């Protein structure tokens, strides 16, 4: 864990490059998140499912302290040579260069890791982040809707559809489905086998006549988060996607929010989710920042 002592706009701060996150710092991050959400009337995307299981040998989180009080935070999540980044600054300490400094320190480390593309995630309603991305000429590349299940009255209708937890033998089929549905390269099936051992997640497949036609992943943190939902093209528009989602959701505790996120341009998926009882609650913008080896 490294510490930088700095002076910005007349205040002395410490920036911690954290190797994993202990319970004390997780609580400080949560408290700051609650404060910022209430102040800005937003719902930040911090990916708590990942924060709680950070590896202890890698720097992914950057914390800014003023007199032992957390006043700024930035977290990075690396996927396929791209770093998704979310951050926040205490309302009383904004416009002092804290977020800019956190980003500078984080990007230096990302470059050392060979990462040259950053996606800054910001809720559409956040004025401070809009000003920041405008100042650095970041490019808006995509927008996602956060959707939360509002109704819960599901009935099994597609009796020929089998929904079960994924097994190691399904790895290649799941990789192919996700590659087709999300237009991305096919990942090594070993990745799909390894993730089955993650105690904070569950993985499901939909099967029709002994053929795997769909994939759905679930992460458990503060809430239930559904992601990686895909049905092979030849089986779409037949009600299988809706039935798949309903059957999986039927396994969960009704006391927790059930959440998913979907690209704002994916109208077909949005309609399916709405039919399942999900409503749009927040909008997140993804801004692209390209890094270079040469840093000031």
Cα–Cα distance measured from residue 216 to residue 244, given in angstroms and rounded to the nearest whole number: 8
- From residue 224, give the alpha-carbon distance in Å to each of 12, 252, 280: 39, 8, 16
7-11, 75-79, 290-294 — which one is most confidently predicted on average?
75-79
Cα distance between residue 50 and residue 116, in whole Å? 21
* Domains identified in the chain and CATH numbers: 2-144+285-290 (3.40.630.30), 151-276 (3.40.630.30)
| Cα 181 from chain centroid (whole Å) | 18
- So what's the pLDDT on residue 10? 82
Residue with tokens 């989180």: 61
Beta carbons within 8 Å of 266's beta carbon, 6+ residues apart: none
Q: What is the pLDDT of residue 9?
A: 80
Find the mean pLDDT for residues 10-37: 95
Q: How far apart are CA 201 and CA 76, in angstroms?
A: 20
The model's confidence at residue 52, banded by pLDDT at 50, 70 and 90, is: confident
Give the mean model confidence (pLDDT) for residues 61-69.
95
Helix residue ranges per DSSP H, the chain: 23-40, 48-51, 98-112, 127-135, 171-182, 189-194, 240-249, 267-275
Q: Mean pLDDT for the chain?
A: 90
pLDDT in tens, 185-213: 887 889 899 999 988 899 999 999 999 99
pLDDT at 295 over 70: no
* Number of residues assigned to the chain: 296
Q: Are strands 117-123 and 82-89 parallel, antiparallel or unpaired?
A: parallel
The packing angle between helices 267-275 and 240-249, to 10°, is 50
Q: Give the pairing type, strands 2-8 and 201-208.
A: unpaired
**pLDDT tens-digit map of 253-266:** 667 889 999 999 99
- Give residue-wise pLDDT tens across range 110-154: 999 999 999 999 998 777 788 888 888 899 999 999 999 987 666
Q: Token pair of 276, please?
A: 């399942």
At 51, list the tokens.
């924060």
Q: pLDDT tens, 156-174?
A: 676 799 999 999 999 999 9
Question: What is the pTM assigned to this prediction?
Answer: 0.86
């Amino acid at each position: 864990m490294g510490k930088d002592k700095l002076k910005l706009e007349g205040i002395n701060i410490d920036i911690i490059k954290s190797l994993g996150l202990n319970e004390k710092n997780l609580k400080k991050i949560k408290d700051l998140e609650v404060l910022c959400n209430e102040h800005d009337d937003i719902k930040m995307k911090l990916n708590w499912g990942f924060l709680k299981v950070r590896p202890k040998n890698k720097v992914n989180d950057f914390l800014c302290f003023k007199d032992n009080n957390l006043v700024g935070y930035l977290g990075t999540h690396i996927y396929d040579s791209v770093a998704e980044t979310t951050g926040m600054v205490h309302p009383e300490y904004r416009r002092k260069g804290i977020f800019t400094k956190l980003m500078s320190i984080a990007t230096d480390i990302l470059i050392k890791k060979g990462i040259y593309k950053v996606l800054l995630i910001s809720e559409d309603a956040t004025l401070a982040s809009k000003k920041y991305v405008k100042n650095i000429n970041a490019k808006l590349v995509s927008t996602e809707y956060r959707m939360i299940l509002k109704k819960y009255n599901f009935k099994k209708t597609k009796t020929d559809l089998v929904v079960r937890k994924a097994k190691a033998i399904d790895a290649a089929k799941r990789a192919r489905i996700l590659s087709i549905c999300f237009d991305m390269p096919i990942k090594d099936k070993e990745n799909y086998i390894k993730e089955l051992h993650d105690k904070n997640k569950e993985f499901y497949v939909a099967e029709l006549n002994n053929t795997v036609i769909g994939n759905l992943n679930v992460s458990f943190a503060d809430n239930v988060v559904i992601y990686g939902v895909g049905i092979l093209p030849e089986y779409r528009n037949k009600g299988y996607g809706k039935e798949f989602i309903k059957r999986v959701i039927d396994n969960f505790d009704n006391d927790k929010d059930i959440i998913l996120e979907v690209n704002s341009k994916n109208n077909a998926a949005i309609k399916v989710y709405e039919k399942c009882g999900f409503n749009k609650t927040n909008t997140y913008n993804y801004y692209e920042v390209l890094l270079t080896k040469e840093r000031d």
